[in-house]
Amino acid sequence: MKKTVLLLAGTVFLGLSLFAGGGSQSGGGTAAAGVRKDDLTKTVPLVVYATVRNTDEADGRRTDPVSRLLEKKFNIELDLTGVDDANWATQLAALVAAQDLPDLFTTNTTVAVTDALIASNSLLDISPYMADYAPYSINDPDFNLMYELATRKTTANPEGKFVNWGLCRGSWDNGTWPTVGNYILWDVYANLGYPKLDNFETDLVNVLEQMVKASPTSLSGNKTYATGAWFGDGQGYGEWVIQYTQTWPENLSYAGALTVALDGTDSTMVNMNQLTNINSNYWKVMTFYNKLWQKGLFDPDSFTQQEAMYRGKVYDGRYMYIVPGWRATGANTEFTAAGSPHTFVSLPTFNKKSEARVTVMTGGERQYGISSKTQYPERAVALLDYISSHEFSRIATNGPEGILWNMINGKPVPTEEYLNTATRDREFYLRTGAGIYHHFLGYGSGTVDPATGISINLATYSPQAVIKSMNAAIKDFCAYYGKETLQDVYQSATPITQGYGFLQFDSLPDDIQTYWSGLEAYTAKAFPKVLMANSDAEFARFRDEMIAGMAPYRPDAIFQWYWNQAQAQAEGVKALLEAAKSK
């Protein structure tokens, strides 16, 4: 088992000095052995495996303007392969076995696979290259905080080398359209006369029942439901609705095969096993969905349909309530194009204390590494540095300047075409490049660029987009709470609107890993029976049976292992939290 080394506040935000010649913990700048100078003028091939959007364009040399911009800027022939999370661990293992790792690739996989890459010296120690080839990052406070997290010493990485570069930092939202929320069709709710809606457990169920009765058919004339899910996608993504409902609205996230809840308020671990304690958030959510099921309000197709069918129903107005924020904003665009008054709006948290409306992804949601065998380490570092910047994040999200946006008086301004684009098809992506590099960029779309004061995603968060989004329903929502904007509503309703995550857990010991895998598979198979119970008594019986059936997988042992890890990091986490809040 690894031992976590705590981080001290004094080590955070070292800036340029961290990478000055010979001064870094792993060697620095041109003084470091093995680092040659590359003036970046000679064109070289670079093979990259990244989580990019599928636009039906074949892997290899891409034709979109963002890819062309990168090729020209760094004199590279960019061979880009898109990977998806579901298959990447298997794909990466095959590349390792064949000793055919790409120059630059995502290491966003299991801790064990990443540790194996580090232990086998398959990943380049990037630190010695930073001073000469990372001008954007060495002066970025957010990067330096990520660096502190990425270079903690572990058994696999005893020297604390910088081998995992965190991308998708900052936040995917700006507090108005959280990635996870309690979204309801506000226009339908308002037409009911704003019935009592003070809690999640009972009021929301009652309100959703009234909403379905008031709006029984969708835009296309189909039957409506309170909500639905995409369990048909199977273990993992298929369980998303169960795993994420009431997490960010409670400033929580899960770990430990759902046994562990992490509190984003102070980056600590909740002292309650989420699977075995019936008072946990997990069982509160299961109870909520079961109550909807008993009333015939939970879409029965949820147990077989995949996310694509779920998405179509959301966009057709067949659900009164949804959780994923990206589907809420997508649906609103479709509603507007169809001339419908329907509008999803995220309710303020019911607890009135803390909500992760802006989740600060300090370590990055995605990690990338460079092969230790690359022939072009300098070019790979330079590319990754630019990818990591606010500037590229804006370009990756909105396309290069001059297509969908222009810089006016130092501020990026979206075009009317961009603001009015309802459908993003293959032609749109290849013409504009906007959104193709959606998980291969430095900052989440809600992050504010310090150079412009404008959030990265101009179609959603720019001042022009905010004004355009203020339709009748959103104006009514703000008026109901006595405020002028969505941000005003949420900031006044909840004292804490940020979520932090500094806890980092080591590779599981073999026995815990075995229990963890078994518990994860068991839970995925067992929960539908409980959700579909036809009475409260049956629900309680099925719930207790499900909990009893967990025993062979030692859920309490899993929880205890995580708890011990969290307590060992307590002081270091506190220091990091203070540093992040003072940034």
DSSP string covering 345-376 = EEPPPTTSSEEEEEEE-TT-SEEEEEBTT-S-
Can you give the pLDDT at residue 115? 82
CA atoms within 13 A on the CB side of 268: 10
- What φ, ψ does residue 307 adopt, rounded to 5°? -60, -35
What domain range includes position 267?
170-365+482-583
For residue 568, is pLDDT > 60?
yes
The chain-wide mean pLDDT, for the chain, equals 90
CA distances from 34 to 30, 290, 372, 453 (A): 9, 61, 12, 40
Can you give the pLDDT at residue 2? 30
Residue 169: pLDDT band by 50, 70, 90 thresholds?
very high
Residue 97: pLDDT band by 50, 70, 90 thresholds?
confident
Range from 83-92, 285-294, 399-408, 469-478 carrying the lowest mean pLDDT: 83-92
Range from 15-19, 354-358, 383-387 carrying the lowest mean pLDDT: 15-19
Can you give the pLDDT at residue 19? 56
In a domain, 202, yes or no: yes
245-267, pLDDT tens digit by residue? 999 999 999 999 999 999 999 99
Range from 12-21, 71-80, 487-496 carrying the lowest mean pLDDT: 12-21
Q: Which of 247, 179, 240, 143 is nearest to 446 (CA)?
A: 179
Give the separation between CA 434 and CA 398, rounded to whole angstroms.
Answer: 4
Angle at 41 between CA 37 and CA 42, to 5 degrees: 95
Range from 152-166, 258-272, 315-329 carrying the lowest mean pLDDT: 152-166
Instruction: Map tokens 């299991």 to a residue.
Output: 110
Q: How many residues does the chain have?
A: 583
Q: What average pLDDT does this structure show over 400-416? A: 97
In a domain, 20, yes or no: no
Can you give the pLDDT at residue 200? 97
For residue 518, is pLDDT > 90?
yes
Q: What average pLDDT does this structure show over 516-533? A: 97
For residue 497, is pLDDT > 90?
no
Burial of residue 518 (number of CB atoms within 10 Å: 0-12, 13-18, 19+): middle
In a domain, 216, yes or no: yes
170-224, pLDDT tens digit by residue? 988 888 888 899 999 999 999 999 999 999 999 999 999 999 999 999 999 999 9
DSSP-based three-state secondary structure for 521: helix
Residue 22: pLDDT band by 50, 70, 90 thresholds?
very low
Q: Work out whether strand 44-50 and strand 76-82 pair parallel, antiparallel, or are unpaired.
A: parallel
Can you give the pLDDT at residue 359? 78
Can you give the pLDDT at residue 347? 97
For residue 12, is pLDDT > 60?
no
For residue 122, is pLDDT > 70?
yes
Both tokens of 67, joined, read 């890819």
For residue 500, is pLDDT > 90?
no
Q: DSSP code of 111? A: H
Can you give the pLDDT at residue 545? 98
Structurally, the chain folds into a number of domains equal to 1
In a domain, 244, yes or no: yes
Instruction: Map tokens 């990754």 to a residue.
Output: 384
For residue 4, is pLDDT > 80?
no
In a domain, 325, yes or no: yes
Distance of CA 94 to the CA centre of its chain: 26
For residue 16, is pLDDT > 70?
no
Can you give the pLDDT at residue 36? 63
In a domain, 297, yes or no: yes
Q: Which of 120, 137, 126, 82 is nearest to 389 (CA)?
A: 137
Q: What average pLDDT does this structure show over 298-318? A: 97
CATH number of the domain encompassing residue 345: 3.40.190.10
In a domain, 133, yes or no: no
Can you give the pLDDT at residue 583? 64
In a domain, 86, yes or no: no
Can you give the pLDDT at residue 137? 96
Give the separation between CA 142 and CA 580, rounded to whole angstroms.
Answer: 9
For residue 32, is pLDDT > 70?
no
For residue 133, is pLDDT > 50?
yes
CB-based contact 411:417 (threshold 8 Å): no
Name residue 388's amino acid.
S
Name residue 547's amino acid.
I
CB-based contact 247:230 (threshold 8 Å): no
Residue 14: pLDDT band by 50, 70, 90 thresholds?
very low
In this prediction the pTM is: 0.78
